[in-house]
Structure 1
Amino acid sequence: MPVYSIFGLNIESDIQLPAITSEGTDIQITIRQQAIDNQLFNNELIKSSQPSNNNPYIPVSYQQNNELWFCVENIASFYVGYGNLILYQPEEGAEQQDILLYLLGTCLGIIMHQRGSLVLHANAIQVEDGCIIFMGKSGQGKSTLAAGFLQAGCSILTDDLTVINHNMQVEPAIPQLKLWDDSIKRLGIKQENGKRINLHQTKFNFSLSTGFCKQALPIRAIYELNVHQENTFKFERIFGMKKFIPLRCHTYRKFYLAGLGLTKQHLKLCANLAAQVNITRLSRPAKPFMLNEMIQAIKQDLAQQFVA
């Protein structure tokens, strides 16, 4: 099977991934198609609650820290185990791009949690010899902002799913950027250069042949993106224990951590990061989306943070 480099790991997969191929022979994670049933769990299953906006996948089962199984209707069943194995069993008629959406999102996010990394719902871009992270809820402008920095000459490190290693560095993800159609128009990008992520959303994947950083980088700063009704940009530095709150809030697929027994580990990882990196809440005007002005405001804020 082909081997890919994602998050600093060699991943062997029987389904083609939009990732950089690796020459490595030491395989850390395997992705393969296989029939999935409850026999993968040796102990009593712990079922999740009914579907909600935060947890749309049902049913979900856990066993200690090691295994998770979830099912997405009309797409596939997925199994993530021991930080090194992802299995998928497609439903009849499922589209490959839908399966990839969950393999490269939820499944990889869970497996990186299992491997002891801090995983954020965030984008990261290279700035000089380090990187800055933009985290926030969907619709706050993370990918649009990252694309704006890309057009300004910066490189993308991660999109949507950001993995922070034990050295407080962000690991390079997949050379792509996902953008909604309104962001594509705002950025002046040709929509035909992207690939629709699935048949149900007007969101497109753009491969990055250039402008992708392939090495892990230390974190210079973190911004939590927010929208307000004022007509100015507002930067609010977060201090002390309050820094923990946005890290917890924007943890990727955090609703799985308790069932996996990873809550204690996650709290420690958040505390370590909060102690070492500046976190700033950045509120922007709701309309219009002043992208270029926002980029300049962030550059000025960064300069003030690191003034000698």
Structure 2
Amino acid sequence: MKFYKAYNLCIASELQFPELIETEGEPDAIVRFGNIDDAIATQYESGKSFLGEIPEVGKFFIHSGREIVINTVPGVDEALIRTLLLGPVLCVLLRQRGLLVIHASCIDINNKGVAFMGGSGWGKSTLATAFHNHGYSVLTDDVLPIQLEGRQAIVFPAYPQFKVFPEALSSLGHDTKSLSPIYQNAPKLSYKFTRGFQQTPLPLQRIYVLDKGSEHAITKIQPQEAFVELVRHTRAMNLLTEKEFVTSHLHLCTQLIQSVSFCRFTRKPSLEDLPDLVKLVEDDIAQLTAQDDSRNVDQTSSSYSLATKD
């Protein structure tokens, strides 16, 4: 087995993952090959196991947030297996471990996480790559695990790889001829990078809900709307349907809304405008940070006034 670091986990795996960073230590989760039949889930406690099958790929058994057993169809593309494991399969495992997992990319601005949430093809990876081009570090490209600690949301980094459409990479000045699809015949390319990967978990400051429109705009959204968007863009939502997971998920969504600010980020479908979008977010975060700093100063002043009166 080899040991890898991803999503704040030490993962021991019989399947090699060239996308991940190798590490050492006691494994938090194990990925192994094994036989899987319909009776295997009955050996484990109900609600803590998931047995799923992807046609023409294989079966996946995920237990208690600690073990993934894979039984693949002979001859299946190994890159496809890795893509599924690092995406939907690990999403189930992370949710079993009590994390809120959303469909979002995340970058580091001033040592805080700034996330772009949306469905497939909405521009999450393209935006993250554009910010990376401007010197910002990236935490995750597609799967965003969040741990709620009291009123603070902590983002766990994924691994240093973008999955981006060729035309988006070309518009950002990258040579796509040397890049390969993420798996055979996939529409997106695998762009691995060695610099600008934020490996340390960060507090999450803001989530932008991506949308398409006739102009670029960032607007605040109300908590009720943010809640609907979070549920809509939670990973593995249709897979873990037991009451325990649903109740926990709704509670985590409520906690996150109380901890992080949400805005709707509307953009025109124009790759040429990516530098303008970066600037728009930079200005918005600068304004948010100034407001937070002012609020902290006011709270400090109030505390000092009360102390002097006492």
Please confirm whether the aligned pair reaches a TM-score higher than 0.5, indicating the same fold: yes
From the superposition, tell whether residues 260 and 10 of structure 1 become closer, same or farther in structure 2 (CA, over 3 Å). Answer: farther
Counterpart CA distance in 2 for 1:7 and 1:287 is: 32
Q: CA deviation at 1:289?
A: 5.0
What SS is found at the alignment partner of 2:56?
A: coil
- Mapped to 1, the partners of 2:269 and 2:224 lie a distance apart of 28
1:176 corresponds to = 161
Q: Distance in 2 between matches of 1:82 and 1:195?
A: 34
Instruction: Look up the match of 1:205.
Output: 190
1:80 aligns with 2:62: yes
Secondary structure in structure 1 of the residue aligned to 2:240 = helix
The match for 1:215 among 176, 188, 200 is 200
Greater per-residue helix proportion? 2
Q: How many Å separate the matches in 2 of 1:19 and 1:198?
A: 16
Q: 2:135 aligns with which of 147, 150, 153?
A: 153
- 1: CA distance, partners of 2:46 / 2:177: 45
| Superposition map of 1:96-135 within 5 A | 96-135=78-117
Deviation at 1:162, TM superposition (A): 0.5
Q: Secondary structure at the match of 1:104?
A: helix
CA contact (8 A) 1:64 1:260 kept: no
Question: Following TM superposition, by how much is the alpha carbon of 1:64 offset from its aligned partner in structure 2, in angstroms?
Answer: 3.3
Letter in 1 for 2:23: S
Q: Secondary structure at the match of 2:68?
A: strand
Structure-1 residue corresponding to 2:14: 14
Match of 2:40 in 1: 40
Match of 2:227 among 244, 251, 255: 244
Whether 1:275 aligns to 2:275 is no
Separation (CA, whole Å) in 2 of partners of 1:3 and 1:209: 19
Contact 2:109-2:136 at 8 Å conserved across structures: yes
SS in 1 for 2:207: strand
Would the aligned equivalents of 1:77 and 1:90 in 2 still touch at CA under 8 Å?
Answer: yes
Deviation at 1:63, TM superposition (A): 7.0
RMSD of aligned C-alpha atoms?
Answer: 1.6
Structure 1: any 5+ residue segments left out of the alignment?
44-61
Amino acid at match of 1:20: I
Secondary structure at the residue paired with 2:241?
helix
The share of aligned pairs that are identical, in percent, is 29
The one-letter code matched in structure 2 to 1:215 is T
Cα distance in 2 for partners of 1:63, 1:258 equals 15
CA distance in 2, matches of 1:63, 1:250: 28
- Larger CA deviation: 257-266 vs 115-124: 257-266
After TM superposition, what 4+ stretches of structure 1 lie above 6 angstroms from structure 2? none
CA distance in structure 2 between the partners assigned to 1:197 and 1:126 by the alignment: 24
Partner SS state of residue 39, structure 2: helix
The C-alpha deviation readout for 1:214-260, integer Å capped at 9, x for no partner, is 100001111011101x2x21212112333211111111121113147
Q: Which runs of no fewer than 5 residues in structure 2 stay unpaired?
A: 295-310
Residue 236 (structure 2) aligns with? 253
Give TM-score scaled by structure 1 length: 0.89
Report deviation, 1:20.
Answer: 1.0
Indicate conservation of the 8 Å contact 2:171/2:271, yes or no: no
1:66 touches 1:260 (CA, 8 Å); kept in 2?
no
Asked if the contact 2:163–2:191 (Cα under 8 Å) also holds between the matched residues in 1, the reply is yes
Which residue of 2 is the match for residue 141 of structure 1?
Answer: 123
1:267 Cα deviation (Å)? 0.4
Say which SS state the counterpart of residue 165 (structure 1) adopts.
strand
Q: Is the 8 A contact 1:193 1:206 kept in 2?
A: no
1:71 aligns with one of 36, 39, 53? 53
Counterpart check, 1:23 vs 2:24: yes
The aligned length equals 287
Paired residues of 2:231 and 2:253 also in contact (CA < 8 A)? yes
Deviation string, structure 1 residues 43-81 (Cα, Å, up to 9, x no partner): 8xxxxxxxxxxxxxxxxxx97321111111221211111
Going from structure 1 to structure 2, the CA distance change for 1:155 and 1:143 (only over 3 Å counts) comes to same
